[in-house]
Structures are given as structure tokens and as C-alpha cells.
Amino acid sequence: MPVPFTNSIETFAVEFSHNIDHRMPGSMKAVDGISVSIAKGEFVAILGRNGSGKTTLARMLNALLLPTGGSVCIHGIDTLDESLIWKVRGLVGMIFQDPDSQIVGTTVEEDVAFGPENLGLEPGEIRRRVQEALHSVAMSQHAHTTPHLLSGGEKQKVSLAGILAMQPDCIILDEATALLDPAGRKEVIGLVRTLNRDKRITVLHITHDMEEARLADRVILLDAGKVVLDGRPSEVFSNSPAIKMAGLELPQIAELFDLLNQEGFDLPDCAMNMDEALAALIKVMNRCREQHVHLH
Ligand SMILES: Nc1ncnc2c1ncn2[C@@H]1O[C@H](COP(=O)(O)OP(=O)(O)OP(=O)(O)O)[C@@H](O)[C@H]1O
Ligand SMILES: [Mg+2]
């Protein structure tokens, strides 16, 4: 019996140099010795300043780029195995920042069918998958619309449907929400979160938005092609010196608590949502009130 893979993604000291001539000792590697295991069903935010290697790493995870050192395994498949490259691309779907660059069909339905058609599936199965995928992203009513007439958020949902129709193991969003307004961002992230929970699709969300990162199960912070921090959001965001050293800012709640603690308050290192923050602040205020009463 085949052994079930519990890890969607594993990288072993993976490296990538964009310019092969620069593969000499001391040259800059865009990705420089990253080893991570990402379990099936995890929702991971990838953070890092511009040029820290996030996109290069993501492109290696769906075999758009092949490592120049180390290796990448997707669901147990080494991406260097050329015979299985299309299998890897079907398992790991990517959505980029610019929705227009991803549109290939003249109608929404055609666009979503593109992936399953490339898998060589029967027309009936393709139709079934397209309908299901459009339903999952609440875009069924736009099936016959020209994609170019849609809003940015709607186009990202169509891209998401195109990936879902491939029945992926993992979805990578490479700043896919960056060009959307707050409502559009919330909708796309909410949809991806639902797919992650209901279908156990692993999600890697590359973002510069700390508030979005705060909501992930795990945060991986990159700098100069290396992993600087890797842990639960509460752990990662409690390390404000490392976050700042990597050129990023803390989420607003974490920044506020950090400043209050510097003023001598005893707040938890990092509250991850408004309810936790409110509960912690009320506790501190009550303590102050009690001390005040006691003094008089
Ligand atoms: N096609 C390319 N050719 C040469 N160098 C590249 C290429 N793409 C990226 N690089 C370099 O590789 C490094 C990492 O780039 P990458 O795009 O992976 O960073 P990133 O973390 O995604 O940045 P951003 O937040 O700006 O998207 C940078 O130094 C960049 O200049
Ligand atoms: Mg990038």
C-alpha cells in the first residue's frame, strides 16, 4: 500500500540563483538554503521585504523554476523529476497579483476549463468541475461573461476557480490581494480560508499585509533568501526586534501592546485578534483600578 504523504510541501536546503553566472561562492542567491515542511491543510503566511525571495521560492514550489541547489518535494514528488512536472503544477496552483495576466479564456467558463482541458479529462468531467469550481467561488452567474469585463476581485475569484477545477493539493497566493480594495481582499481571503477548512487545501499566502498574516495558522518570515522566523503568528509577532530587523512592521495590535509594555504594562506578548486584545486590556485596566483603590 502506498504511504500517505502528510506533507504537502518539503524543501531541503533549497537554493535558487536567477543568474547562473552568479553561482560562485559569495554571490547573492535569491533563495539561500531554505528547509521547510508544510503539512497538508496548513494556512501559512509568507512575509518578507521586497526582494527577500518569496516569489522565487513560490515559483520553485510549482516547478515554474527548478532549484539550482537542494530540492523541493511536492506531495512526495521531487520537482526535478521532469516526467512528473505537470502533475506538480496540477497539485500546486498559483495566483499572482495582476489578475489580467492570468486570463486565457474568452468567457469565464472557458477560462476555468483551461486547466482541466490540459489534464486531458473527458468533456463531461470538465463541465462538472467547471460548474463546481464556479459555484465554490460564487461566480456561477458570470459563467458566460467576458472575463475582461469583471472587476479585479471577480477576476481573482475566476483565477481561483481555474485552480480549483484542477483539484489542487495546495494554493499559493502571491500578493493576490494586493490590488484589491478592503472588501475585495476580505472576500478573496475568506473564500480561500473556507476552501482551506472544508477541502483541506494547503494555502501559502504571500503578503505584505500584516493584518492578513496575523490570521494565518503559521507565519514564515524570509530575509535575504533565508528563513528568519517560522512559527505561530503569536510567536512570530512577539519577536518585534527580528520583525523590524527584517524591514517589516508589526500588526497594529502587536505594535500597540509592544509600546504599552515598554511603558511598564504587563500585556501578553501578542494578542492575535480584537477579542483577545480587548480581554487583555480590560484585565490590565481592572488591575490598575484595584491598585488605585488599594492605595487610597
Ligand atoms: N527574473 C529575474 N532575474 C534576475 N533576478 C531576479 C529575477 N527575479 C527576481 N530576481 C532577484 O531575486 C531576488 C528575490 O526576488 P523575489 O522576486 O523572489 O523577491 P520577493 O520577496 O518576491 O519580492 P517582492 O516583495 O518585491 O515581490 C531579488 O534580489 C530580485 O532582484
Ligand atoms: Mg514577489
Is 2's pLDDT higher than 50? no
Residue with more model confidence, 102 or 202: 202
**Domain containing residue 289:** 251-296
Residue 156 within any structural domain of the chain: yes
- Measure 142 CA to ligand 2 centroid, in angstroms: 30
Report helix, strand or coil for 241.
Answer: helix
User: 22, 29, 47, 54: which to mutate for ligand 1, most atoms within 8 A of CB?
Assistant: 54
- Tens digits of residue pLDDT in 256-271: 888 888 888 888 776 6
What is the position in ligand 1's atom list of the atom closest to the CA of 19?
4
Verify that 62 and 202 share a domain, yes or no: yes
Q: Report the Cα–Cα distance between both ends of the chain, in Å, rounded.
A: 74
Q: What is the pLDDT of residues 27-85, one digit of tens each?
A: 689 999 999 999 999 999 999 999 999 999 999 999 999 999 999 999 999 999 999 99
Q: Give the per-residue pLDDT at 46.
A: 98
Q: Per-residue pLDDT for 1 more than 50?
A: no
Instruction: Report yes or no on 39 lying in a domain.
Output: yes
Answer yes or no: is 1 within a domain: no
Measured from the Cα of 225, ligand 1's closest atom is: 14
Domain count, the chain: 2
Evaluate if residue 255 carries a pLDDT over 80: yes
CATH number at residue 98: 3.40.50.300
Secondary structure (3-state) at 178 = coil
How many Å apart are CA 22 and CA 225, to the nearest integer?
Answer: 15
Share of the chain above pLDDT 70, in %: 92
Cα 66 to its chain centre, rounded Å, is: 20
Contact 177, 184 (CB under 8 A): yes
2 assigned to some structural domain: no
- Let me know whether 223 and 263 are in one domain: no
Question: 216 and 85 in one domain?
Answer: yes
Nearest residue (CA) to ligand 1, atom 4? 18
Query: Do 26 and 173 belong together in one domain?
Result: yes
Query: Which residues does ligand 1 sit against, CB inside 6 Å?
Result: 18-19, 30, 48, 50-56
How close is the Cα of 206 to the center of ligand 1, in Å?
Answer: 13
86 shares its domain with 224: yes
Q: Same structural domain for residues 223 and 261?
A: no
Q: Report the pLDDT averaged over residues 16-26.
A: 70
Please report, rounded to a whole number, the percentage of residues in the chain having pLDDT higher than 90: 62
Which tens digit of pLDDT belongs to each residue from 125-177?
999 999 999 999 999 999 999 999 999 899 999 999 999 999 999 999 999 99
In a domain, residue 12? The reply is yes
CA-nearest of 70, 43, 34 to 222 is: 34
